[in-house]
């Protein structure tokens, strides 16, 4: 599936079962469009919030068998049959919108718990929606999915530190800055220091630990979808490895995946066995 944005991770690829690709694509474009309303262009915050409120109203109208507005037909026309056929949990879609709305007005987080609450709404619903499509709903799988999705969100934060600051987005918890004796203002001023690099190394370790704790979920899915999730996990771990290679200097350089990353990602995905240490297989 072609997308207009840089993506670290596959979206509705050929590895996804053909029958589920329309549902995955519809969910993706719902989230992607809402994210763009919150992020892209030069609209003022009040206009963004008004647009997101209209977007939410269209979602609720469609869920109640009403008619959505004509503002986003390429989003809600494909989503309507998916919502009905798969009985998607509406609250998960609403949670996504609440996170995008928060992005408009909030530009800092005091604690890791505050940031994790944002991830619970901005990232975890996507994984839970995917598991719902696969009819996997046991608590262990849901918790593992949450760990992977939160880790991917953190990976994106640490990868996009510089670009996010340019958009007045800042996701490093104040408590982490305080522990490293860094004034948050230094990040806004794009000051790359030994202390900021040490902090980024610690944050990378946090994201990696979360990712590895959820990685056993890859063995719950069928062969093709399990392989897609393996590559998602390995893509996130590879970005963290790139940040480590930069010694945490993502204020200056945005690490991305390239062709040369494919072979090691595939090799590590292949080595993810259910009866051996995931950490050893997934990250050397």
Q: How confident is the model at residue 6 (pLDDT cuts 50, 70, 90)?
A: very low
The residue written with tokens 């066995």 in the block is: 273
Share of the chain above pLDDT 90, in %: 67
Instruction: Please give the pLDDT value at position 50.
Output: 97
Instruction: Please give the pLDDT value at position 14.
Output: 53
Share of the chain above pLDDT 70, in %: 91
Instruction: Please give the pLDDT value at position 11.
Output: 43
Q: What is the pTM of this model?
A: 0.89
Reported as a single tens digit per residue, the pLDDT across 138-173 is 999 999 999 999 999 999 999 998 888 888 888 999
Determine the Cα–Cα distance for residues 212 and 147; give it in Å rounded to an integer. Answer: 8
Instruction: Please give the pLDDT value at position 227.
Output: 86
Q: Round the CA-based radius of gyration of the chain to a whole number and report it.
A: 19
Inter-CA distances, 248 with 62, 159, 162, 169, 241, Å: 45, 9, 12, 18, 10
Give the list of residues 6+ apart from residue 40 with CB closer than 8 angstroms, or none: none
Q: Long-range contact list for 249-254, CB < 8 A, 24+ apart? A: 249/192, 249/197, 249/200, 250/158, 250/159, 250/160, 250/161, 250/162, 250/200, 251/161, 251/162, 251/165, 251/187, 251/190, 251/191, 251/192, 251/196, 252/162, 252/192, 253/162, 254/159, 254/160, 254/162, 254/163
Instruction: Please give the residue that has the higher pLDDT: either 278 or 264.
Output: 264
Instruction: Please give the pLDDT value at position 132.
Output: 95
Instruction: Please give the pLDDT value at position 282.
Output: 46
Handedness of CA 129, 135, 137, 141 (dihedral sign): negative
Determine the Cα–Cα distance for residues 281 and 211; give it in Å rounded to an integer. Answer: 13
Reported as a single tens digit per residue, the pLDDT across 16-61 is 788 888 999 999 999 999 999 998 888 999 999 999 999 999 999 9
Determine the Cα–Cα distance for residues 84 and 52; give it in Å rounded to an integer. Answer: 23
Would you state the structure tokens that stand for residue 156, as one six-digit string?
């994106």
Average confidence (pLDDT) over 260-269: 91
Inter-CA distances, 27 with 80, 92, 106, 264, Å: 10, 11, 25, 30
Instruction: Please give the pLDDT value at position 96.
Output: 97
Q: Which CATH class is domain 107-284?
A: mainly alpha
**Half-sphere CA count of 230, side-chain side, radius 13 A:** 25
Whether residue 10 is predicted with pLDDT greater than 60 in this model: the reply is no
Least confident of 2-16, 93-107, 196-210, 245-259: 2-16
């Amino acid at each position: 599936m072609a997308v207009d944005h840089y993506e670290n991770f596959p979206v509705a690829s050929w590895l996804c079962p053909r029958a589920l690709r329309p549902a995955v694509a519809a969910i993706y474009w719902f989230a992607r469009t809402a994210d763009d309303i919150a992020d892209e262009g030069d609209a003022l915050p009040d206009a963004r919030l008004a647009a997101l409120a209209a977007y939410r109203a269209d979602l609720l109208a469609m869920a109640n068998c009403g008619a959505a507005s004509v503002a986003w037909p390429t989003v809600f026309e494909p989503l309507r049959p998916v919502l009905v056929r798969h009985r998607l949990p509406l609250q998960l879609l609403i949670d996504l919108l609440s996170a995008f709305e928060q992005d408009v007005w909030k530009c800092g987080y005091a604690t890791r718990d505050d940031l994790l609450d944002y991830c619970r709404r901005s990232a975890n619903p996507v994984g839970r929606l995917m598991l719902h499509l696969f009819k996997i709903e046991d608590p262990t799988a849901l918790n593992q999915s949450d760990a992977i999705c939160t880790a991917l969100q953190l990976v994106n934060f640490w990868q996009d530190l510089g670009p996010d600051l340019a958009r007045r987005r800042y996701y490093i918890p104040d408590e982490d800055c305080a522990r490293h004796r860094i004034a948050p203002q230094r990040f806004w001023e794009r000051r790359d220091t030994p202390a900021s690099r040490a902090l980024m190394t610690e944050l990378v370790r946090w994201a990696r630990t979360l990712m590895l704790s959820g990685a056993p979920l890859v063995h719950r899915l069928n062969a093709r979808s399990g392989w897609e999730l393996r590559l998602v996990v390995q893509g996130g771990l590879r970005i963290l490895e790139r940040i480590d290679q930069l010694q945490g200097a993502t204020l200056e350089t945005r690490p991305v995946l390239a062709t040369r990353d494919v072979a090691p990602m595939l090799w590590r995905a292949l080595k993810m066995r259910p009866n051996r240490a995931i950490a050893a297989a997934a990250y050397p």
